[in-house]
Amino acid sequence: MKRIAVLTGAGMSAESGISTFRDSNGLWEQYDVMTVASIEGWYDNPDLVQQFYNDRRAQLAAVEPNEGHKIIAGLEKDFQVTVVTQNVDDLHERAGSTDIIHLHGELTKACNESKTQVYDIGTRSILLGEKADDGSRLRPFIVWFGETVPLISQAAEVVSKADIILIVGTSMQVYPAAGLIHYAKPGVPIYLVDPAEVNVPPNVEVIREKASKGLSLLKKKLAYKQGC
């Protein structure tokens, strides 16, 4: 089976009703990114950060995977698929994808301050002042600005072995995730699905559509190329 690496960002979950970050009305228009999504912000005001992620978890409990997530899960019938997502939601899992790397962490997990103990918490809130087993503060299992991205080498290896690369719904502005595309083998077909203009190298075929429509077009294209 050919290997597909699917790189997804916030636009992947937009049709499920989760706001993106940098679009107009996106989350970073409503919140200061460094206050709620950086390690400095956590040290300055942990209660505010907990509230921000408690709200994100509550929202996650109220949404469902969209057609785009389902199309990606369905590709596993014909391809060996790994999803590398910047998203912290669990909509790829709930749509049925089985091999997922969460570069920026997972909303449904919490951890201790040193990130050595990880707990499944589903969509419940973390209580203000709640402690991990080692006595440190329980925190969201999120990779904040100012923290290392532990899964980036694993993701780079996935991209370097892929025969086809799909990129869906990311502004490609946040590194190291945006740099993953440079690990592609020469000549590998790379497709980007995004309704807005995104700065990508000229070898990327752009499908300027929302995730569900763009992925349904792409699915037909891939089936045609496979001869099935």
- Known catalytic residues are 104
Residue 14 interacts with ligand OAD (CB under 6 A): yes or no: yes
Cβ proximity to ligand OAD: between 43 and 145 the closer is: 145
Residues 175-214, mask of contacts with ligand OAD (x by CB under 6 A): -------------------xxx-x-----------xx---
Residue 70 interacts with ligand OAD (CB under 6 A): yes or no: no
Rounded CA-CA distance 39/43 in Å is 6
Preceding amide of 176 cis, omega within 30: yes
Strands 80-85 and 164-168: unpaired
Rounded CA-CA distance 86/162 in Å is 18
Residues 103-122, mask of contacts with ligand OAD (x by CB under 6 A): -x------------------
Rounded CA-CA distance 6/43 in Å is 34
Q: How far is the CB of 79 from ligand OAD (least distance, A)?
A: 21
Find, among 80, 46, 50, the residue nearest to 158 by Cα.
80
H or E stretch covering 35: helix 33-36
Number of residues counted as binding ligand OAD (CB under 6 A)? 28
Query: According to CB under 6 A, which one of 152, 169, 184, 190 is a site residue for ligand OAD?
Result: 169
List of residues 6+ apart from 55 with CB closer than 8 A: none
Q: Is the distance from CB of 223 to CB of 78 less than 8 angstroms?
A: yes
Query: How far from 122 is each of 29, 85, 129, CA to CA, in Å?
Result: 27, 18, 19
Of 18-26, 50-58, 113-121, 132-140, which segment contacts ligand OAD by CB under 6 A? 18-26
Tell me which residues in 74-103 interact with ligand OAD (CB under 6 A). 86
Residues 30-59, mask of contacts with ligand OAD (x by CB under 6 A): ---x---x----------------------
- The residues of the shown chain that bind ligand OAD, judged by CB under 6 A, are 9-11, 14-15, 20-23, 26, 33, 37, 86, 104, 143-145, 169-171, 173-174, 194-196, 198, 210-211
